[in-house]
Structures are given as C-alpha cells and as structure tokens.
Amino acid sequence: METYSGKKIFSGVAIGRIFHYAKVESIISRKKITDVAAEIQRYEQAKEKAITQLKALYEKAVKEVGELNAQIFEVHSMMLGDDDYNDSVHNLISSQSVNSEYAVAMTGDNFADIFANMDDEYFKARAIDVKDISERVIGILSGAKGADNLSEPVIIVADDLAPSETVQMDKSKILGFVTRLGSANSHTAILARTMSIPALIGVDIKSEWNGKMAILDGVGGNIIIEPDEETLRLYEGKKKSEEEQKELLVQLIGKDTVSKSGHKINLYANIGNVTDLGAVLKNDAAGIGLFRSEFIYLEKEDFPTEEEQFKAYKQVAETMSGKKVIIRTLDIGADKQAEYFNLDKEDNPAMGYRAIRICLTQPEIFKTQLRAIFRASAFGTVSIMYPMITSVEEVREIKIIADEVKAELDNVGIPYGDVEQGIMIETPAAVMISDELAKEVDFFSIGTNDLTQYTLAIDRQNSKLDRFYNAHHTAILRMIKMVVDNAHKEGIWAGICGELGADLELTEEFLKMGVDELSVSPGMILPIRKAIRDSIN
C-alpha cells in the first residue's frame, strides 16, 4: 500500500481501478524492422481495432447527440478503409522496412497536406480527419491508452487533460480525476466539480499504477494505491456516510431557494453539453445559468453547422420545459483550443484573441451561432450572454449583429422567442463601466474565474500560482458588490456564474450584496440551497 498526496479539487471518496490516460507521442520514432509481413499484419490488427472503436463511438454518439452529430465517426471508419491510405502505409513498411507507427504518421501527414491544399472547402476540412484517424491507429500501435471507450468505471490518472480530451470521455465511467499538472482553476477541475466527483492535481503519478485498485480521497487530498483490507473497509465506511449525507440533501428537492428572512434567489446550473442535463434535472436546478457552448465546438473536428447547433440548443430548451436557459456564445481561445480555428500561437493567450474578439472579427462564425440560438428560443425560455466584454462599443456592435440575424429570420418566416441579452462581467474594465453597460443589456453574469485572474494578474492555469490565487480577495468582493449595485440602479438583475458562486463560505456574503442569481455545478445546487435556506439574511 502506497499513499501519494496532491491538491484537492473536489471532495469525496472514489474507490476503483486506475486507468492511466497516456497521450500519443507527438514525435514518432523511425525504427528498422526485419519482418515486413509481421509488421503489416500488426498494422492491420491496429486498424481493425480502430474501426471497432469508431463503431462503438458512433453508437454512443447517436444516443447522446443524435445521428447527424455522430456521422463523423462513420466518416472516420470509411477513411480507415480507404485503399489509397492503406496502400501508402503498406508500401512504406515494405519499401523502407520501417515500423507501422512511422508509416502511419508519414501517410497521415502526406494525405493531410494533400487535402489542406485543395480548393474545395469540404476536402480542406478532411485534413483534420486524416490526422485524427492516424493518431488513433498510432495510439493503438504504441499502446497509448485513450479514455473514450472505457469498459468499467475507473479513476482517470494523467499528466494533464485538455478540454478537447475530457469532452470525449464517457462521463458515466469516471469515478475521479488525478493529474500531475493542471491548476485548481483548470477545465479538468471545473469538469470534476460539474460531475461532483473527487479530483486531485499535483500528484506524482506513475504509469505502472494502470489497472491497480486505488482509493481517491478528495477530502484528505490523497490517492492510496493497492490499499490493504483495513484501509479499504475504513474508506468504504466514509463513502457510505458521504452517500447518506447526499440523501439528506435530496429532501430539499422541490423546496424554494429562500433564506429565513425571505430573500429569494435564483439557483441555476452550469453545463458544458447536452449530456449534463440529467444532473441538472436530478439536482432540481431552477434553470441553466451558463451553457458553455464552446464545448460543442471542442467536440467537433470542423465548425459545427447552424443545424447541428440548433438541435443541441433546442434539446436543452425543450428539456428545461420553460425554465431559463442562458447560452454563452463561444469562448474559444486561451486554454480552449480547436485546431480548425487555426489560431496563432500567442505569448499571452488568456489576454489574447479569444471569445467575443473572435466573434466580432469573424462575424460569419458569430452569426451562425446566433441564428441557431434564436431559432432554439422558439422552443423554450432562452437568453444569450456574451463573454469577455470590455467596452460599451463592443456591446453596441453585438446588438447590431443580433438585430441583423433577427431580421434575416423574419425575412424567411422563422420564429424566435423574446430573448434576453446579457453580458459576462469578467474584466476589470467591465466592472468599472458597469453603470454604463447596465443601460445596454438585460442582465449581468459575473465570471469570477477570469475576473479574479485579470484583477490579481495571475494566470489561473499556472499551478505554481495557486497559492497566490485568492478568489476571496477584498478587491474581488468589492467588484462584485459594485456590479450588483450598478445593475440594480438600472433595473436589471445580476448573477454569478463563476466557480465562486459555489463557495459555501461566501453564500451569506452574496445574499448581503443582493446577488439575484447563482449558477453553479449541478452537484452544488442542493448544498447551496441548504446554505441559503439556513441563512438569516
């Protein structure tokens, strides 16, 4: 039995086997082989395994996001069966006596270049698909472990996880996360909170842990490898007590979120995609205060179409049955990268070309998303909020584009609802001019993650700075109060959708400030409701 410590991200206890998530090496070594026939057979076996994986992913995707969105996996299967692609791999192995990994990597690069240089936009987009299928086969050949086809619930252990990797995982098979890198404010951490599962960062992980039984202690901040029977019994007892506490919170389902003094507050949930809706309904959220629409983009290998987005937004609106659904327009950039956006590498991406800046400089992308959202608003109570606002001029430009979209829909007779339009307050600039911004919009939603980052001049993705990242800093609390006051002066509401909204130590303070809405991870809905109902404010 061995115990390793880390920084806890979400409390709780997980007991299960470890799945070591290893990425495919970016540099593939060229190796000389002596048995060409055996190497070709090795490639063919890996290819068939990849096709089997893709078929399973297709079936899973059909159930979760519909047949249209699942078709990409069928495309990938067909590409792996392409004669030209397979002939190229075979020829490289035969003529150069090289290993399969190298032959696949070279073939993938060559075919991707051919597609990328074509004039037709459809074929240009296939360059990314060729790279993807090649990486999948290389991963199988090299023994790299993917987490998109898990056979049992596991504790995921990895160096780090990008948002584009976590969105592909089968959330029902994940008991907890343990990473060597990352920060308390990374998107892996946010995902763990959304899923209400224990997570640790900063752990000295070992690849040999793969397949071993472990206990993830999100309360003490430890992971115990191969626990003895006594330790296992102790933590099974802790896990049982934890589940009993959750059962007590279940009694709050259907109850009003109102303090002892009668202060009522809207308690909404944050989600990343349609699959999070089950947790939203289970925990009795009054609505969705933040739909991170960028995850629709991160799940794709090309820009999602208007129809694809419309179906996702419509499904959320209909599922919520008239409860408010606030969709944040895409917040791509910084740590959330989608290759097909072709964003330049930036020295300071958190303050770079991201979010609304992409939308306003590439209005064709923005308009496609807005049309999808407005169309979905005919099927529920949908609101839109825009991220990374720093000026009144930006808001006015956004409103002009939104009006153009509505006029286009009117011209073709497509209905849409009465859509509130608000902005995220997540920059110090927006805080300082919130009195002016309040005259332009229907609501404010304070994004405390980025607001803290920008105010304290701290990169929230840098784990070395976690000790300096103080979300309770007086400056942050004063800013929140200023924003709420300025919103109320203009007759609009103000909420918090950042991670700070789920901080039980600040619930009383937010009630005193007059915050109208808190939007938190689904698993925090009932604990926050209890805190509000116990409050005297």
Amino acid code (one letter) for 521: S
The highest-level CATH class for domain 36-142 is: mainly alpha
**For residue range 428-466, what is the model confidence (pLDDT) as tens digits?**
999 999 999 999 999 999 999 899 999 999 887 777 887
**For residue range 43-85, what is the model confidence (pLDDT) as tens digits?**
999 999 999 988 887 886 676 556 665 777 788 889 999 999 9
How many Å apart are CA 286 and CA 278, to the nearest integer? Answer: 14
Residue 145 predicted with pLDDT over 70: no
User: Which regions of the chain carry the CATH code 3.20.20.60?
Assistant: 264-534
- State the angle between helix axes of 83-96 and 100-116 in degrees (0 to 180), rounded to the nearest 10: 130
Catalytic annotation, pick one of 20, 76, 90, 187: 187
Q: What single-letter DSSP state applies at residue 243? A: H
User: Which regions of the chain carry the CATH code 3.50.30.10?
Assistant: 2-22+148-232
Decide if 187 is catalytic: yes
Residue length of the chain = 537
Check residue 128 and give its pLDDT: 76
What is the average per-residue pLDDT within 394-403? Answer: 97
> At which residue do the structure tokens 């920084």 appear?
7
Q: What single-letter DSSP state applies at residue 447? A: -
Decide if 497 is catalytic: yes
Backbone angles phi, psi at 333, to 5 degrees: 120, 180
Q: What is the pairing mode between strands 443-446 and 493-496?
A: parallel
Check residue 69 and give its pLDDT: 57
Highest mean pLDDT among 47-51, 342-346, 348-352, 366-370: 366-370
User: 2-22+148-232: CATH homologous superfamily?
Assistant: Phosphohistidine domain (3.50.30.10)
Catalytic annotation, pick one of 20, 76, 359, 497: 497
Residue 141 predicted with pLDDT over 80: yes
Q: Order of strands across the sheet with 174-179?
A: 2-5, 222-225, 213-217, 13-21, 154-158, 174-179, 199-201, 7-10
Nearest to 420 by CA among 401, 402, 408: 402
Kindly report the average pLDDT of the chain as a whole number.
Answer: 88
Least confident of 1-5, 398-402, 474-478: 1-5
Dihedral angle over CA of 167, 169, 171, 176, nearest 10: -100
**For residue range 498-513, what is the model confidence (pLDDT) as tens digits?**
889 999 999 999 999 9
Per-residue confidence at 270, pLDDT binned at 50, 70, 90?
Answer: very high
What is the average per-residue pLDDT within 132-137? Answer: 87
Backbone angles phi, psi at 216, to 5 degrees: -100, 110
Check residue 23 and give its pLDDT: 66
Check residue 22 and give its pLDDT: 74
Per-residue confidence at 92, pLDDT binned at 50, 70, 90?
Answer: very high
Asked if 388 and 355 touch (Cβ cutoff 8 Å), the reply is yes
Per-residue confidence at 34, pLDDT binned at 50, 70, 90?
Answer: very high
Asked if 154 and 223 touch (Cβ cutoff 8 Å), the reply is no
Question: Selecting from 3.10.100.10, 3.40.50.620, 3.20.20.60, 3.40.50.2300, what CATH number does the domain 264-534 have?
Answer: 3.20.20.60
What is the average per-residue pLDDT within 278-291? Answer: 93
Check residue 186 and give its pLDDT: 67
Residue 24 predicted with pLDDT over 60: no
How many Å apart are CA 44 and CA 41, to the nearest integer? Answer: 5
Which residues have a Cβ under 8 Å from the Cβ of 27 and sit 6 or more positions away?
A: none
Check residue 336 and give its pLDDT: 67
User: Which regions of the chain carry the CATH code 1.10.274.10?
Assistant: 36-142
Check residue 125 and give its pLDDT: 67
Residue 164 predicted with pLDDT over 80: no
How many percent of the chain have pLDDT more than 70?
A: 92
Nearest to 210 by CA among 70, 412, 490, 16: 16
